[in-house]
Each structure stands twice: as C-alpha cells, then as structure tokens.
C-alpha cells in the first residue's frame, strides 16, 4: 500500500506512531495527574482480592467526575462497572478498550461527544445499535469480537471517516454483509483485512466515493474486485489481477503471486507464463463486464 498511515490525521492513537511515551499507564487513583489522557490498568493487579475490588470501586467512583478527560485507554480487562463509570465521563473524545467481559454495551449511548472508539477482545459485543446516539464518531476500530455478526447500525455514524473491523485469534470475522457501510459518505479509510462478508458482495464499498484507502482480503470472486477497481479509481486498494505473496519460487527464485480471487492458488508468473497472461486477461474482462 502506497499511503502512509500517518497521512490519516484522525488515526491518532498514540501507540500507532511508535508508542505512547507521554502518558504513563497507572493503576491507582492517587497516581492520576489530572491530564486529558488517562492510560489505565487497574484490574488484574497482584493484590489481595479485597484490595483488588477496592481499587476498581475507587475508579468507578472517580471516573464520572473527570470533566477534563478526553482520552481514556483501558489496558487491562474491563468489567461492567468500570465500563459504565467511563460512560459517565461527559466530555470523553476517545475510548480504548483492549479486553473486556462487559456484558452490555448500551450505556455507550451516553458518550455523545465520542469521536474515536477502539474495542477488542470482548465476547459479548454483538451489535452496533449504540452508534445511533453517537453521531459524532469519526474513527471506529473493532477487533476480536467473536459474536459480532453484522454491521447494522453503523449507517448512523454519518461522520465516520475511518473504520477497521478484523477477526483475530479466533479466525475470520464473519459478517452478514457490507450493506450498512454504503451510506457512509465521508468514509476515507476502510480496513477489512481479516473480515469476510457472507454475501460475498463488494458493491456497497463501490459507493464510497471519498475512500482513499481500502484493505481487502482474498476472499471474494474476481468480479467483486473488478467492481472496486471500476468504481473506486482514486482509492489506494492495491487491487490488480494478483497479489504478491512475498515468497520466492523454489524453481527460479522470483517472487510468487496469488490470483486476486476466491480460492486462488499461489504460483510463479515466470514459470507459468500462460497462466499469468490468462489471469490478467480474465481480470480485465471482469472489469469490462462488471456492473
């Protein structure tokens, strides 16, 4: 991909640019210095059970009082109480949850000023209905959410500029379809690298005319990739008839490729010249014929 991720100003999680040196991760209320950013790891502490509980209760009481806090990053497992306390931080701009056993995400609706949200590794995260109340959201990142089956609700995020959804250790993120994305007219950045739409239809993405960056896996029929090339000429999607594998051919030493289509098998373009020509022709034909 040509574009450097730092070109997208709205991707501002500090660690993306080489780690967050400016904000120390803390465990206790007494360590907080009143700044706009708070990195918290206040659970899973090596303390007696009673004290562990108290530390969490102290944060639950303290978090809602933080009027100046803009960015809250949870780096240890978040429970329901801690999450709900965070949902009372009225001016919160960015919320980062690395891992949770939150059972109910509805309280997120209170964070009406939230612009950036990152949620990973949360088994009970099942839908995006809370987005309805967070029209301000510009950057949404979802990883390792095993029970997320559809994107319905995301269509309400009218100001969304960047969206990443990917699977993780459990494998592909399987979603019903990409239809709810089709109306997000301001979307500039879309990362779907380990995500599979059961509909196998990429047409909704072709409607995103402001898209500058799109990352797609090799899960779809050739015609679907052709649609992207045809409808998004100004997007950095890296789509052509093949994708380089980065591996060397055992026969000639040249880099091998994988056809840009579902079920495509790795081969060497030099050792299989006719196959390579056919592949390129098939892709050009798909572009000519696709709706």
- Please give the residue ranges that form the binding site for Zn ion (CB under 5 A): 249, 251-252, 268, 270-271
Nearer to Zn ion, 90 or 248 (CB): 248
Nearer to Zn ion, 42 or 257 (CB): 257
Nearest approach, Cβ of 277 to Zn ion (angstroms)? Answer: 15
Query: What DSSP string describes the chain?
Result: --S-GGG-TT---GGGGT---SS-EE-SGGG----SEEEE--SS-SS-HHHHHHHHHHHHHHGGG-SS--EEEE-S-B-HHHHHHHTT-TT--EEEESSB--S--GGGGG-TT--EEEEESBTT----GGGGG-TT--EEEEES-TT----TTGGG-TT--EEEEE-BTTB-EEES-SGGGTT-TT--EEE-TTEEETT---HHHHT-TT--EEE--S-S-HHHHHHHHHH-TTSB---SSEEEEEEEPTTT-PEEEEESSTTPPPB-TTTTHHHHHHHHHHHHHHHHH--
Nearest approach, Cβ of 265 to Zn ion (angstroms)? Answer: 14
Nearer to Zn ion, 132 or 275 (CB): 275
Nearest approach, Cβ of 232 to Zn ion (angstroms)? Answer: 32
Nearer to Zn ion, 121 or 241 (CB): 241
Nearer to Zn ion, 233 or 253 (CB): 253
Nearest approach, Cβ of 254 to Zn ion (angstroms)? Answer: 5
User: Is 59 within 8 Å of 43 (Cβ atoms)?
Assistant: no
Nearest approach, Cβ of 249 to Zn ion (angstroms)? Answer: 3
Nearest approach, Cβ of 275 to Zn ion (angstroms)? Answer: 11
Nearer to Zn ion, 31 or 266 (CB): 266
């Amino acid at each position: 991909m040509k574009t450097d991720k730092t070109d997208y100003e709205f991707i501002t999680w500090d660690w993306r640019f080489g780690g967050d040196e400016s904000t120390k991760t803390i465990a206790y209320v007494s360590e907080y210095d009143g700044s706009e950013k708070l990195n918290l790891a206040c659970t899973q502490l090596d303390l007696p059970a009673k004290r562990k509980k108290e530390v969490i209760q102290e944060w639950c009481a303290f978090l809602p009082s933080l009027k100046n806090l803009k960015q809250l990053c949870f780096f240890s497992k978040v429970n329901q109480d801690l999450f709900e306390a965070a949902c009372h931080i009225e001016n919160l701009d960015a919320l980062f949850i690395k891992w949770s056993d939150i059972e109910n995400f509805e309280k997120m609706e209170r964070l009406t000023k939230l612009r950036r949200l990152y949620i990973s590794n949360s088994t009970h995260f099942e839908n995006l209905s809370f987005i309805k109340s967070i029209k301000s959201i510009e950057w949404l990142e979802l990883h390792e959410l095993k029970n997320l089956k559809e994107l319905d609700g995301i269509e309400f995020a009218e100001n969304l500029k960047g969206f990443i959804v990917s699977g993780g250790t459990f494998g592909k993120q399987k979603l019903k379809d990409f239809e709810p994305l089709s109306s997000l007219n301001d979307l500039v950045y879309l990362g779907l690298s380990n995500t599979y739409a059961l509909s196998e239809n990429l047409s909704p993405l072709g409607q995103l005319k402001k898209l500058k960056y799109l990352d797609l896996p090799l899960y779809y029929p050739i015609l679907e990739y052709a649609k992207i090339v045809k409808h998004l000429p100004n997007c950095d999607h890296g789509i052509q008839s093949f994708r380089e594998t980065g591996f060397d051919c055992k026969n000639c030493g040249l880099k091998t490729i994988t056809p840009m289509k579902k079920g495509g098998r790795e081969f060497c373009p030099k050792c299989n010249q006719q196959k390579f020509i056919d592949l390129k022709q098939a892709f050009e034909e798909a572009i000519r014929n696709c709706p």
